[in-house]
Structure 1
Amino acid sequence: MENYKESFEKYESALLECTNLSQNFAGIPSPTSSHFYASLLFTKLCNCANSIGHLAPNPDQIGKNAHWDYSSVSSLTRDLIECYITFYYLCIDKCSIEEWNARWQLMNLHDHMSRVKMFNTLGIDYEGKEEAKNVKIEVIDNLKSNKWFRELSDKEKTHFLKGKNAFFKSQDEILTASGSNVSDFRFKYIFSSNHTHTFPMGFYRMADGNRGRGVESIIEIQYTALCLEWVSEYLLKAKTEFAGKFETLKLCNLQCNK
């Protein structure tokens, strides 16, 4: 299974490069919130990729009764890809300071409304708490007073102030800005989503090709390799963008410490 070996080695190399980069830039103060969140999201990206490596058997385990579960690998692959999209949108995509602040405030509103929705399922009136009320009022006020946000249409402002969206842009818009192929991404996303949510496509053919049983099969090996290829792709994209964002800061930090 040379293809699997190549995909696994590519994944290991990409993860090692990203991990080394993260460690090399450790301890550098973040001059902006964008840099701070870039550090957090890049770490999350590496952590997710590392977990995928624990699920994907090493090539030398082929034929040795290893546990195979491409479906779970696929679910984590979707998590990693979504992490990359957030990383690019919040930390790499070029925009004005006013727009960036609006993006961040919208995420704060989405975070608040997500907590409200979650606790409501338990019968807890989270939004009724004084602290929660103050958070919502503050975030909405910050959005309404934001120059970039005020230039949106009334319909758009009403829509986003509901807090149901974490992004002002669609996935396709973010991907286009990042230079990604939208059609190629959509295939990856649909494939992994069907396993993440256990939609019919994720289990209808379990009887075919001996897949989804934890045992080795051609399908398990091929699909795991496919996911590893995707993981490598987004790791390397993030690595280049993260390095570009922090490289100047590292040089400045070294010069200041001389």
Structure 2
Amino acid sequence: MKMFTDNQEQRQGFEGQRDELVARLKAIPFFQQLAQPVQAQCLSGKKAWFLDRAQLVEMVGMEKAQFDILWDLWSQHSHIHPMSFYRMEANGRGSGLDNDTDRSYLTTAMLICTGILEAATDKMVEISPDVAGVRQGLNSKFSPGPKSNRPQ
């Protein structure tokens, strides 16, 4: 909202969307069961989550030590850290050229992320069992969100 103080039209659009999202959030039984300070934190719009990383890792059933290893490894390869330079080799590693090692890293990352997403989805269904009936696996479709996002 702060970004659009000078553009009344955009500000009003975002205010309307905010009001719609707040109303939808307040109607969710799981949200209603959260402690008032947590609800206030969620409604403030300052944070996209209310649990810390360790709590989220625990919720998906991953060992914290295992997660920390992946976090360190992937951070080293996605940020400018010494490891990302150290691991570059003359055979194309780290240059964007196709090679077996980078392909195996990508495959491993996708498999791990798939497992995390499956566990997170199962947890969402556990928390909101009314969605279990519409869950369609690979045939599921992503909701476009608020009505204003939908094609006219």
Q: If the TM-score is normalised by the length of the shorter chain, which range does it land in?
A: 0.5 to 0.7
CA distance in structure 2 between the partners assigned to 1:108 and 1:208 by the alignment: 51
Query: CA-to-partner distance for each residue in 1:135-180, whole Å, 9 max, x for gaps?
Result: xxxxxxxxxxxxxxxxxxxxxxxxxxxxxxx64x542233234432
Aligned twin of 2:40: 105
CA contact (8 A) 1:194 1:202 kept: yes
Task: Spell out structure 1 runs of 4+ moving beyond 6 A.
Answer: none
Letter in 2 for 1:203: F
Aligned twin of 2:62: 180
Runs of at least 5 residues in structure 2 that lack an aligned partner in the other structure: 1-23, 134-152
Letter in 2 for 1:102: P
Cα gap change, 1:104/1:202 in structure 2, threshold over 3 Å: closer, same or farther?
farther
Cα gap change, 1:33/1:204 in structure 2, threshold over 3 Å: closer, same or farther?
farther
How many aligned residue pairs are there? 108
Cα gap change, 1:208/1:173 in structure 2, threshold over 3 Å: closer, same or farther?
farther
- In the alignment, does 2:102 pair up with 1:238? no
Q: Which has the higher contact order (CA 8 A, sep 6+)?
A: 1
CA contact (8 A) 1:206 1:212 kept: yes
Cα gap change, 1:105/1:184 in structure 2, threshold over 3 Å: closer, same or farther?
same
Deviation, 1:209, is: 4.3
Query: CA-to-partner distance for each residue in 1:200-238, whole Å, 9 max, x for gaps?
Result: 212222125421112111211111111111111111112
Cα gap change, 1:184/1:222 in structure 2, threshold over 3 Å: closer, same or farther?
same
Aligned twin of 1:5: none
CA distance in structure 2 between the partners assigned to 1:250 and 1:227 by the alignment: 27
Q: Whose helix fraction is larger, Structure 1's or Structure 2's?
A: 1
Q: 91, 98, 104: which one pairs with 1:216?
A: 98
Aligned twin of 2:28: 32
Letter in 2 for 1:173: Q
Letter in 2 for 1:32: I
Aligned twin of 2:86: 204
3-state SS of 1:226 partner: helix
RMSD value, Cα: 3.2
CA distance in structure 1 between the partners assigned to 2:129 and 2:33 by the alignment: 21
Letter in 1 for 2:28: T
Letter in 1 for 2:37: A
Deviation, 1:187, is: 1.0
CA contact (8 A) 2:60 2:119 kept: no
CA distance in structure 2 between the partners assigned to 1:218 and 1:181 by the alignment: 28
3-state SS of 2:103 partner: helix
Aligned twin of 2:74: 192
Q: % of aligned pairs identical? A: 17
TM normalised by structure 2 equals 0.55
Cα gap change, 1:110/1:244 in structure 2, threshold over 3 Å: closer, same or farther?
closer
